[in-house]
Structure 1
């Protein structure tokens, strides 16, 4: 009998498959167990999504031959995760901090867009620091909306335009592209190339094993965050809480906050967030009123307990700066129901009885006041 070869990637693959078999405990057991079939099914869909994103992030990238890949879009059902929303495209590209990169693009119909570089504290660990940000106000555009920026460990001598200096722990570039109408808006065209020669393609046993282990570590971290508990929140936040865990009650929003430079995950430091939750009967709607500050873009999005939204074609599950109808005093009142309320600012949960709400503002001139909410009976 021929002896089976021994590879580190074989060991890592078996660790990954064994680990995957245990991840559903996050939503099947304990205090965060899914209360019904909808929650459990959402958990398995989330696991499949996270596996795909982990492959895109750790297994398949070639930092010498970079390309942006879709990590959130208004339409892909396999990319509903991590606090997504129906109004945006997010693209991801893994970087080598020792290389120089040239990024080019064309803006098209975007209301607001940016590129953020995040670090990686350890293989498979979530980012905890923003390396640099370039948004559309930092760019110079050509007659057809074309633009260019650079990234690298040092600024090129011949480049005076927008530049992100890559620290030694720089890991990933994430683009954000917000549309007023995701069904008709054309997203930014992003292209990236490495300046230095690529060299030969090498796929080693050690590198593959390291990637597989990083994938599992990253997925375990995500399943430590979601599902989020949707019962009554604590009256006071506890030390070390993440932004989406800020204390608030059911059918309420938490106090808005500006994202700091030191973050957990891929949060946007040019954004201000207020997170909420809902728990509604079929004949109830949640009314939320707030005063948007002057900003580049804002939207309110419905999530399930896995911080995942829906496809833009499923129904009106979000509202934004271009689609909302303001009150006479400049405030906005949104009605959120399990079916779509008959209201100019009606939003549907697609019959989800409970879930999360995310209200975000990009480049606000101030941190807004906390939204005021009340539950009422649906009209009719």
Structure 2
């Protein structure tokens, strides 16, 4: 009799994990209440399975390759706090190796590269190891033509790189060109039983953490110590206090960002009118999410407003009208008829933590249609 391969056991453990993850959105306090969010839950299971295989099963840190993490156009990469204004790429790395990062910024209006740790196989990051961005052109060799090239590593504690490329309008803007090259000899390819089993178990651990966070609550504070996920307002239709991300964080948050999160619950014929005064910053946006921290594709409908597309009021503030359809206001965004979900503000390289955005539910007929 042949003993079972460890990769066989790990594969069955992964299937068992997958088989139980839908309980996070079907049962208990976080159970979703409409059929589209149930369907979104299963789509999120499929999406995150693809991401985790890219990250853990197929990655070769000595032969690095950036893979798509979030894009404005791929429906299987709408997850994890995405937004329609940005492209994120990911590359697992070896902390002891050296790499060259290069490319061209094309139409990016803000970009960065962040290195994160991994406390244990499959564990989410809880520390930012390094960050490189276009605000430090000498450090990354950024030229007037948009080319850049710089070397990183060894980076003790680093396990993964995440790029950020923010576009004024991704419908017309050209995504950045990112390249990564290993500067040390590659390891031999070894996809044996033990290696595959370890990677499958890391994948399962990563998925369990994902669905410990999701779905996000609507109108309930998930965790006021930020141990899991972001800070969310405990009342629907308002925002939590904005906060600056620290070097110690959970997940793949941006070190140079401030965030403010809220939720919406809207009946037909209602609108949420949001007013905020943007600080001086490189980029800001507001994004509509479902309860799985996912937006829709940028070419489906307008689900975000940013500092380039927003039309400000005469006093410099910005009013945004969120409703289940579109309105006449120039800063109108739609939930695509979702009655509830989540909202995310982010500000990059702000000169100060922003003031809390104000929000009020009004009959849609009373919502503003022009800037003031």
Measured after TM superposition, the shift of residue 249 of structure 1 is 1.1
Alignment of 1:56-67 (within 5 A): 56-67=54-65
* DSSP 3-state at the match of 1:245: coil
Q: Distance in 1 between matches of 2:299 and 2:292?
A: 20
Does the 8 A contact of 2:312 with 2:319 survive in 1?
A: yes
Q: Tell me whether 1:320 sits opposite 2:306 in the alignment.
A: yes
Q: Distance in 2 between matches of 1:221 and 1:183?
A: 33
* Counterpart in the other structure of 2:169: 181
Does the 8 A contact of 2:229 with 2:251 survive in 1?
A: no
Q: Distance in 1 between matches of 2:241 and 2:283?
A: 19
Does the 8 A contact of 1:233 with 1:250 survive in 2?
A: no
Does the 8 A contact of 2:213 with 2:228 survive in 1?
A: no
Measured after TM superposition, the shift of residue 38 of structure 1 is 1.3
Q: Tell me whether 1:52 sits opposite 2:50 in the alignment.
A: yes
Q: Tell me whether 1:84 sits opposite 2:72 in the alignment.
A: no
Q: Distance in 2 between matches of 1:197 and 1:368?
A: 46
Measured after TM superposition, the shift of residue 182 of structure 1 is 0.7
* Counterpart in the other structure of 1:293: 279
Match for residue 138 of structure 1 among 129, 136, 139: 136
* Counterpart in the other structure of 1:68: 66
* DSSP 3-state at the match of 2:267: coil
Q: Distance in 2 between matches of 1:129 and 1:366?
A: 22
* DSSP 3-state at the match of 1:196: coil
* Counterpart in the other structure of 2:151: 150
Q: Specify every segment of 5 or more residues in structure 2 that has no aligned partner in the other structure, as ranges.
A: 367-372
Q: Tell me whether 1:261 sits opposite 2:254 in the alignment.
A: no
* DSSP 3-state at the match of 2:210: helix
Q: Distance in 2 between matches of 1:295 and 1:374?
A: 25
* Counterpart in the other structure of 1:226: 214
Q: Distance in 2 between matches of 1:192 and 1:78?
A: 24
TM-score normalised to the size of structure 2? 0.95
CA deviation string 1:110-158 (max 9, x = no partner): 01000000000000000000000000112232353110121112xxxxx
Match for residue 181 of structure 2 among 161, 181, 193: 193
* Counterpart in the other structure of 1:18: 16
Q: Tell me whether 1:278 sits opposite 2:264 in the alignment.
A: yes
Q: Distance in 2 between matches of 1:233 and 1:221?
A: 18
Q: Distance in 2 between matches of 1:197 and 1:116?
A: 24
Q: Tell me whether 1:95 sits opposite 2:81 in the alignment.
A: no
Does the 8 A contact of 2:117 with 2:126 survive in 1?
A: yes
* DSSP 3-state at the match of 1:137: coil
Measured after TM superposition, the shift of residue 320 of structure 1 is 0.3
* Counterpart in the other structure of 1:357: 343
Q: Distance in 2 between matches of 1:243 and 1:12?
A: 27
Q: Distance in 2 between matches of 1:260 and 1:62?
A: 29
Q: Specify every segment of 5 or more residues in structure 1 that has no aligned partner in the other structure, as ranges.
A: 154-165
Structure 1 residue runs of 4+, over 3 Å off? 231-234, 237-243, 245-248
CA deviation string 1:142-199 (max 9, x = no partner): 353110121112xxxxxxxxxxxx11x2100000000000111111100001101114
Measured after TM superposition, the shift of residue 369 of structure 1 is 0.7
Measured after TM superposition, the shift of residue 232 of structure 1 is 4.8
Q: Distance in 1 between matches of 2:61 and 2:290?
A: 34
Q: Distance in 2 between matches of 1:23 and 1:233?
A: 21
Measured after TM superposition, the shift of residue 350 of structure 1 is 0.6
CA deviation string 1:50-81 (max 9, x = no partner): 10010011000011110100000000000111
Q: Distance in 1 between matches of 2:93 and 2:74?
A: 24
CA deviation string 1:2-50 (max 9, x = no partner): x455311011001111111011110111111111211211100000011
TM-score normalised to the size of structure 1? 0.93
* Counterpart in the other structure of 2:370: none
Q: Distance in 1 between matches of 2:195 and 2:337?
A: 45
Measured after TM superposition, the shift of residue 200 of structure 1 is 2.5
* DSSP 3-state at the match of 1:316: coil
* DSSP 3-state at the match of 1:277: strand
Does the 8 A contact of 2:271 with 2:322 survive in 1?
A: yes
Q: Distance in 2 between matches of 1:27 and 1:368?
A: 33
Q: Distance in 2 between matches of 1:17 and 1:42?
A: 20
Say how many residue pairs are matched: 363
Q: Distance in 1 between matches of 2:198 and 2:38?
A: 30
